[in-house]
Amino acid sequence: MRILRVSSNKGGVGKSVIAINIAIDLENKGFNVLLIDADITNSSIATYLGLANVKHTFLDILKGKRSIDECIMIHDTGLRYVVSSNKISQYTTIVNGKQMHRLKRELLKLKYDYVIFDTAPGYILEDIASLYNMAFIVTEPYTGSYISALRLAKFYDKNNIEHMLIVNKIQNRSYELNIKEIEESYNSYIHKIPYDDNVNRSIQLQRPIIIDKPNSKFSRSISRLSERVIKMSD
């Protein structure tokens, strides 16, 4: 089992959209995948997938109120996923290492090939970091976003977590960072995703772009990314 954290050090970079679509693409390639929305401050997956009423959430698992199996939902694409809570009263919940390692023990019993966590932007506690064996760092091709991504990369290096940089929404504008500059300063694999208007359309339709527009620039890039993840898992 590979446990992947889809992360960023800034919000709004497209992290959740990438998490949803790569999970579906890996599922379509024949792997058993579970997507977990672990962002308890600003969850997005339920919204992007068009869910209004959810009985059980990721927080119920953390608090020991429900098992993972009880919280898993199945999308019409076949994707299995767990959503997070959007209740303001839950925003102060503290996630600790003990909860996450109990979660990992439960996950290992379920025999998934990939478990993908869509998490809140920023760092995590070091005892929680050991849960993951792979991480995406999603950034945009701008100086502020990329510098923040480099800080997160150093954190992963310190905790021996394999990581790759996902440079999202590339338009090749004159004010964007040059990809060659990024390649010279980032010491691991870099994946480039072009800007695609179809992404905003898919969000509004609440239908994953990998299904809605499989031949779009974004979808083709996600498919290449999932192939890279598979190779890294061998």
10-residue averages of pLDDT along the chain (234 residues): 90 93 96 91 83 80 86 91 69 62 81 91 70 91 94 91 95 91 90 96 93 96 96 84
Which pLDDT value is given to residue 100? 74
In angstroms, the CA 234 to CA 106 distance is 23
Which pLDDT value is given to residue 102? 79
Residue 22 CB coordination number (10 Å): 24
CATH of the domain at 53: 3.40.50.300
Which pLDDT value is given to residue 61? 84
**Tally of structural domains, the chain:** 1
Which pLDDT value is given to residue 92? 47
Which pLDDT value is given to residue 94? 57
| Dihedral sign (CA 200, 149, 231, 176) | positive
Residue among 203, 218, 231, 5 nearest 120 (CA): 5
For residue 15 the two structure tokens come to 């992290």
Work out the burial of residue 51: count CB atoms within 10 Å of its CB; fewer than 13 is exposed, 13-18 middle, 19 or more buried: middle
DSSP-derived pairing of the beta strands 80-82 and 73-74 = antiparallel
Question: pLDDT digit string (tens) for 73-115?
Answer: 999 889 999 998 765 444 445 566 677 777 878 888 888 999 9
Kindly give, in sequence order, each residue whose CB lies less than 8 Å from that of residue 32, ignoring residues fewer than 6 positions away.
Answer: 111, 112, 113, 114
Which pLDDT value is given to residue 131? 77
Which pLDDT value is given to residue 130? 73
Contact (CB, 8 A) for 149 and 9? yes
For residue 11 the two structure tokens come to 């919000």
Which pLDDT value is given to residue 88? 47
Domain limits at 17?
Answer: 2-233
For residue 189 the two structure tokens come to 């694999």
